[in-house]
Structure 1
Amino acid sequence: MIWGRDRQLNITIGRAGFWDHRGGNEFTAGRPSGKTTYQDVKRLLQAGDYDGIKRAFAMPKTGDQGFGHPQQLGGGRLEITLPEGWTLKRGELDMGRGEIVIVALSSVKTEEHLVVKQAVDAELTEVQLPKPLVNSSTLSVRLVPASMFTKSQLEKSGVKPAEDWSMAVDGGLDGFQQLLPSDDALTIGYAKRNGNIYVASEVSKKQSVVEQLLTGVGQSKRMINTTPQFWQEYWASVPKISLPDPALQEIVDYGLYKQACVSPPQGVAAALQGPFMEDYQIVPWSNDYHFNINVQMMYWPALATNRLSHFGPLWTMMRGWMPTLKQNGEAFFGRKGALMLPHAVDDRCRVVGTFWTGTIDHACTAWMAQMAWQHYRYGLDQPDAKQVLTDMAWPLLVGAFEGYYAMLEEVPGVDSSGSATGGKRFSLPISVSPEYGGDGPNAWGRDASFQLAALHRICRILPEAARALGQPIDPRWADVDKRLPLYTTVKGVYMSEWNLTNERIGLWQGKDLDGSHRHHSHLAGIYPFATIDLNNPAQRKIVDNSLTTWRFRGAGGWSGWCVPWASTLLARTGQSEAAVNWLHYWKDNFTNEGRGTLHNANNNGNSIMGAPDWTKEKQNREIMQLDGGFGALNAVLELLVQSRDDGIYVLPGLPRTWRELSFERIRTDGAFQIGATVRDNKVAEIRVKSLAGGALRLVHGLGEQYQVNGKIMQGNTLERSCQPGEELILKPI
């Protein structure tokens, strides 16, 4: 992060993966007599023993707890103070080359450029100085550890201030090492070489890599010089999108750029803030891995943008967790093969905090199973597709199902009027809707719609995955899918002023959405799990009713990341103008002047999320999270192309104000790439390329009669079997 004023340029240096792991909690480790089980939770909640629940999920008091939870820590700040008479004017990001140009006005009023470059495969940055500053004795450079700003917080947690170190080599080499009580240290150093400034970092027990990078100038220069090729190849692979809306165009362009920075194949799995950690404060929420939407939202765009390799660090990390997930699931559910992924963990899959509703949120496991399955389906042409299916998607799918199956019970079936049907249906007696009710005594209920949608999605994927792997079909999958409700509904007044009533999706049995809430979890059957058939009139009526109530409840309690999700829900239900408007609202209210994507609003007037008086807040005034930006990018992609169970939809709800637009290379389920051109608010052409071959079902919207590669076709859906590499051009007649 680069910022500054007057003549001081600041470069904040963060390093993803610098963890103080102390205080990590084993899954449900708080129960004195042993591990807490699902049956324990069920018994305690149904008995109203909330104190028992708190004890069951409390953190054990053992030894040095550090911050009380695992915590990622920031790095430091490089301060470059220009000579007297110089002034910083502006900064320009060249996204095509991954470079930042800082324009300064010299003492003789000439414009001079400082260019900041970063290596792709090494933790190395180069600051190229303009000629007047190359040998300047009045240019000041200082490397400041983050511990200088957070000393009191660190000391209370048993972390000592960073230690300075230097090497007496040509030009000098200075830096610091931030030691931790139980983990590897973070080393950051800098050196001036040939008129430029080089900065390097590493997390290890020694600073050997930093020394090598800063003393081997020729090697460092070669590493820096490979960066433009990386960016050239990156931009050639991602979709090319041209929109008539400047705000959404920036969401696309900057989102794609940030994706390469945050989750590259050679990097660290993306956490809430990734490497973009402040130096002046301890980052909130540990910069951990939140699996009740945040991680998923950060990786959504990788599917459609042809960057499936970005999943690599995430899957590598989770493969290492598999024994822990198995231990969690089998102990908690008492069922062989069950897996359990808590909602907030560190990079070792240790639970962060004592938020019991998140710890037992089994949809986290199901959601990552769906994402691994999507990676396989979108990447059928990729050489690692079968491996992802075999060692990630399949165990997660089976593990999620086995956990849910242990939770299910059979209850008398009822119809929509509440009358008994005489049969039996499945039910989840204890279930949660993410973050609703916090971790209080009323934060749970029977048949949470979020959990029902997650389980249905798993039941529908499993037979496809089994066929792809040659595994037997378990009849329980279809049985649960058939006898489990799609969602839970509530009936009655939702607006008392006009006495408006309807039947709508509830959070769980008897629980309505009774206010504005950031997690649209009860609507997950629309997206991301897409278990509701929007073409079914009865289901569509329930969806429309639910959106009406949700809209009435308002956005006052929304955080930054949930606004793009709201946009996607509207795009999926054909309300594209509203989807576009919410993205404008997000950009205006949940980003800052540096295009940082914020959890809390950037003002006092739109959301209660944040401090009571934003203008007076000193710490955590701007809580940056990466999820909102990637959610916004995904929301734009959803306006253009949607992969659904019943086909690929191209521009399903073209906004009436979008007169001219074009896009190329948007990847879909089944490994197809889609492009399209719009002229005068009408689709002029759709382009399809099959990367892997196979069945194509394309809902094109061109009308009942259209042409494919010059041949006239009938119907509003194109169905055909494609060959690998086959290309189709659809045009209206």
Structure 2
Amino acid sequence: MKAIEISPSYDVPWTLDTGYCHDGIPLSNGVFGALIWFQDQTVMLTINRADYWDHRGGTIWRDECTYGHLKSLLESGDFQGARELFPTTLINGKEKRPTRLAMGRFEARLKPDVRLVSANLHMNEGEARLVCRRGEREHVIDLAVVIDKPMLLLSGGEELFESITPVSSYSFEKTKAYFDDFGIPAPAAQEDGWVQALPEDPACAVRMRQRGGTLAIAAEYGADPEQARQAASALLDSVSPSDGGYAAATSETRERWRALWRRAADISLPDDEIERMYYLGIYRMLGNSMPGRIAPTLQGPWAEEYRNPPWSCDYHFNINVQQCLWPAYGSNLLDSLKPLFSMIDGWKPTLALNAKRFVGIDDGYMLGHSVDDRGRPVGGMWTGTIDQANTSWVAQMMWQYAKYAGDEAYLLDEVYPFMCKALRVFGEMMEKDGDSYSLPVTVSPEFGGSSQAGLGRNSTFFLVNVHFLCEKLLELDEKYGIDPDDAAMAADIREKLPPYTAGPRQFQEFGTKPGLELYLWEGQPLSESHRHHSHLAGIFPFDTIQMDDPAQKEAVSNAYKSWIDKGMGRWAGWSMPWASILHNRMGRADMALLSLHLLREVFMMPSYATRHNANYEGFCQFTGGDTMQAEASIAAAAAALEMYVQCVRGTVKVFTGLSRRFKDASFAGIRAEGAFLLSGSKAGGKVQQVTVYSERDETIRLVNPFGGRALIRKDEAVVETDKAIISLKLRSGECVTLEPGVQLVMQSS
């Protein structure tokens, strides 16, 4: 429900000055992706599929790779022995990891007398439009990825193109080297495309067909090359001029995209860059995790054609997958989370086997930080393989979904057992000494990499994850009553395991001052700029820090100062939106806003796609390169939503995250915990109205948005209150409106 009408601009003018594929217009149906970019007289059509894998290789989980063995090796100082517990697969003498594969592109060469004039992305219809001029006449070329087929369609360009050339990824040096090194045959070239056989995965045929004014490009699998070729041919046959051609084949695509945008939350802000970052972030999230399709990866369906994508384009569960879905909650697009949950559900036997191997229990789940689409460890940073916080972070996402959706059945049937199984693995990793528990082998993601400096006792990140699980399990017990053994486990651990690790404050100014701050782990403060803000995860996203507790407030406030003091010199693109949210949760709305502008300036391409590294030198140490990762551009939308609505430890805040420089702003249909949909407006620097619609019988605790008297309009009745926290018990389908009340001014006689 959107109580305020906002008319977003879904049309995005696109630059014609594109250097490579990731400068292009992204199109996707959640499986098949295309990037539309331009070189001289050529329209480049880079294509890929989010499920196009070479699954061979990866980390080998050996029988001796148990937690007890790992711990004993580390305690004896044999770090190399510990590291060798996680060998990687070798093929032809080289390390082999599972990886998404580059696919290729089609080069549509314009005739010499045709000039490309403009390009636009229509986000609300999932369609791109190119305008060309030939003589005195303008021609329109429309492009769309069909919503339910792995196929790109192009309409209106038949008389404009001189040639259309298929170019497989094998044509590029880096891809060819990979194929040759690991025994992948060269593709079988055909006049209309190519067919790629793979050693252990299905063959993939990429073919095109042009008829009746429509160019169709399809990529489909088969058990062998011939079956793949036939499957691709069948897809091409489904687009026929007699059945309406392009317009008919893409009508459902346009409607599906319109329906998604009708559901998505809207924002209005006198800052065109932030607005565009929000809407493009939502668009990319949908393209990377379309409801009913494939869970989001590092590059999604938009992998480049000239090399296999960096980091295998895999599932990184220590921040990247999460950021790809952060906006789904507030933007009211919860169905975008379901592909991830469905994939995790299919992995449960693997996660249970991991827990059995590592800690020897039959009722646990364990997920590594870098895995393929089958849940198997890809390789690389071995310390991430033992990072059990990956499992609990998935549990947090599931819990958050249930709370935002008001889905009690999912909460009790799926989330509750998943949290218990994640917690049991943590329990087996604990040292228990009377009334004191500890976690002797922990990580703070990516700090120290795969070196000995990457491990420590009682990392704050692990502790926050464990306390999140315990807190939510006890909340479930209080409200519903859960298995007494599960409740006792959570209560016991919560009482005896510290909530975080702290040490002497690091940031000092004008002399040494006492006090504590959050540490990464025991004896390890944030000693340098670090891209992963893991020690601050109790602020966001786990929301375990209680700022009304003086000791916790001090530790967090001091850690925040030291974090600022260490600076952004070793940050990556995805560090920025998380930092924006952290600044906002700490009450620094202007810094939250600046963080997003820095993301746009330093890490974003003209296409608003984000790089891992900075665009230029001088801002941070990670500069240059052409690695696109999708998560930062998507998470920026979540950071924008935080400006309007925040859910913090059971309370909802409206407009507290918006910089005071914005006197006028509005939002409509932002979802909050409890299955509430909020809309609000601000004018002249003052909040004018907040509307709350409830999808469930639930109570919302709303921080008074007016800072004084508030009028609550409900069922034609008006109630006035000046409480700092306004508690409203609403029925399903009920709507209330809050407006500023009359402020009484006392005058002296």
C-alpha displacement of 1:698: 1.2
C-alpha displacement of 1:495: 4.8
For residues 197 and 608 of structure 1, the distance between their equivalents in structure 2, rounded to whole angstroms, comes to 44
Structure 1 unpaired stretches of 5+: 167-173, 413-423, 615-620
Correspondence list, 1:132-171, <5 A: 133-134=158-159, 139-149=162-172, 150-165=175-190
2:724 corresponds to: 716
Q: Quick one: which of 427, 435, 447 aligns to 2:446?
A: 435
Kept in 2, the 8 Å contact 1:57–1:356? The answer is yes
Cα 1:55/1:67, change in 2 over 3 Å: closer
Correspondence list, 1:255-274, <5 A: 255-274=281-300
1:198 corresponds to: 216
Correspondence 1:725 to 2:711: no
Kept in 1, the 8 Å contact 2:704–2:723? The answer is no
Correspondence 1:102 to 2:130: yes
Count of aligned residue pairs for this structure pair: 691
Greater shift in the superposed pair: 425-434 or 508-517? 425-434
Kept in 2, the 8 Å contact 1:98–1:228? The answer is yes
- SS for the counterpart of 2:326 is helix
Higher relative contact order (CA closer than 8 Å, sequence separation 6+)? 2
- SS for the counterpart of 1:42 is helix
- SS for the counterpart of 2:84 is helix
For residues 4 and 275 of structure 1, the distance between their equivalents in structure 2, rounded to whole angstroms, comes to 19
- SS for the counterpart of 1:226 is helix
Ranges of 4+ aligned residues in structure 1 off by more than 4 Å: 63-67, 466-470, 495-502
1:118 corresponds to: 145
Greater shift in the superposed pair: 525-534 or 449-458? 525-534
Kept in 2, the 8 Å contact 1:6–1:88? The answer is no
1:402 corresponds to: 424
Correspondence list, 1:551-630, <5 A: 551-610=564-623, 614=624, 621-630=625-634
C-alpha displacement of 1:388: 6.2
Greater shift in the superposed pair: 642-651 or 446-455? 642-651
1:8 corresponds to: 42
2:119 corresponds to: 91
Cα 1:164/1:66, change in 2 over 3 Å: farther
For residues 318 and 175 of structure 1, the distance between their equivalents in structure 2, rounded to whole angstroms, comes to 35
Kept in 2, the 8 Å contact 1:294–1:627? The answer is yes
1:36 corresponds to: 65
1:215 corresponds to: 237
2:403 corresponds to: 377
For residues 239 and 505 of structure 2, the distance between their equivalents in structure 1, rounded to whole angstroms, comes to 72
1:461 corresponds to: 472
> Taking every aligned residue pair, what percent have the same amino acid on both sides?
34
Kept in 1, the 8 Å contact 2:667–2:679? The answer is yes
Kept in 1, the 8 Å contact 2:429–2:439? The answer is yes
C-alpha displacement of 1:312: 2.2
Correspondence 1:56 to 2:60: no
Alpha-carbon deviations, 1:117-176, whole Å to 9, x = none?
A: 22111112211125xx43x6x62111111111121222112112221235xxxxxxx221
TM value normalised by structure 1: 0.91
C-alpha displacement of 1:77: 0.6
Alpha-carbon deviations, 1:417-473, whole Å to 9, x = none?
A: xxxxxxx32211111110100011121111100000000000011133456765324
Q: Quick one: which of 438, 453, 458 aligns to 1:447?
A: 458
Kept in 1, the 8 Å contact 2:664–2:684? The answer is yes
Supply the AA of the counterpart residue of 2:497: L
Kept in 2, the 8 Å contact 1:702–1:716? The answer is no
Alpha-carbon deviations, 1:264-299, whole Å to 9, x = none?
A: 113211111111100112211000000011111111
Cα 1:588/1:501, change in 2 over 3 Å: farther
2:488 corresponds to: 475
C-alpha displacement of 1:701: 2.8
For residues 211 and 223 of structure 1, the distance between their equivalents in structure 2, rounded to whole angstroms, comes to 16
C-alpha displacement of 1:35: 3.5
For residues 574 and 222 of structure 2, the distance between their equivalents in structure 1, rounded to whole angstroms, comes to 33
Structure 2 unpaired stretches of 5+: 1-34, 742-749
For residues 513 and 142 of structure 2, the distance between their equivalents in structure 1, rounded to whole angstroms, comes to 60
Supply the AA of the counterpart residue of 1:682: K
Kept in 2, the 8 Å contact 1:429–1:446? The answer is yes
Kept in 2, the 8 Å contact 1:494–1:501? The answer is no
For residues 587 and 56 of structure 2, the distance between their equivalents in structure 1, rounded to whole angstroms, comes to 48
C-alpha displacement of 1:646: 3.0
Cα 1:470/1:36, change in 2 over 3 Å: same
C-alpha displacement of 1:588: 0.6
1:295 corresponds to: 321
For residues 389 and 309 of structure 1, the distance between their equivalents in structure 2, rounded to whole angstroms, comes to 19
Correspondence list, 1:641-660, <5 A: 641-660=645-664
For residues 222 and 474 of structure 2, the distance between their equivalents in structure 1, rounded to whole angstroms, comes to 45
Correspondence list, 1:503-518, <5 A: 503-518=516-531
Cα RMSD of the aligned pairs, angstroms, is 2.0
Supply the AA of the counterpart residue of 2:541: P
Cα 1:686/1:237, change in 2 over 3 Å: same
C-alpha displacement of 1:499: 5.3
C-alpha displacement of 1:259: 1.9
1:182 corresponds to: 200
- SS for the counterpart of 2:49 is coil
Correspondence 1:694 to 2:698: yes
For residues 536 and 141 of structure 1, the distance between their equivalents in structure 2, rounded to whole angstroms, comes to 66
For residues 122 and 441 of structure 2, the distance between their equivalents in structure 1, rounded to whole angstroms, comes to 51
Kept in 2, the 8 Å contact 1:425–1:483? The answer is yes
For residues 195 and 513 of structure 2, the distance between their equivalents in structure 1, rounded to whole angstroms, comes to 63
Supply the AA of the counterpart residue of 2:554: K
For residues 537 and 672 of structure 2, the distance between their equivalents in structure 1, rounded to whole angstroms, comes to 20
2:307 corresponds to: 281
Kept in 1, the 8 Å contact 2:506–2:517? The answer is no
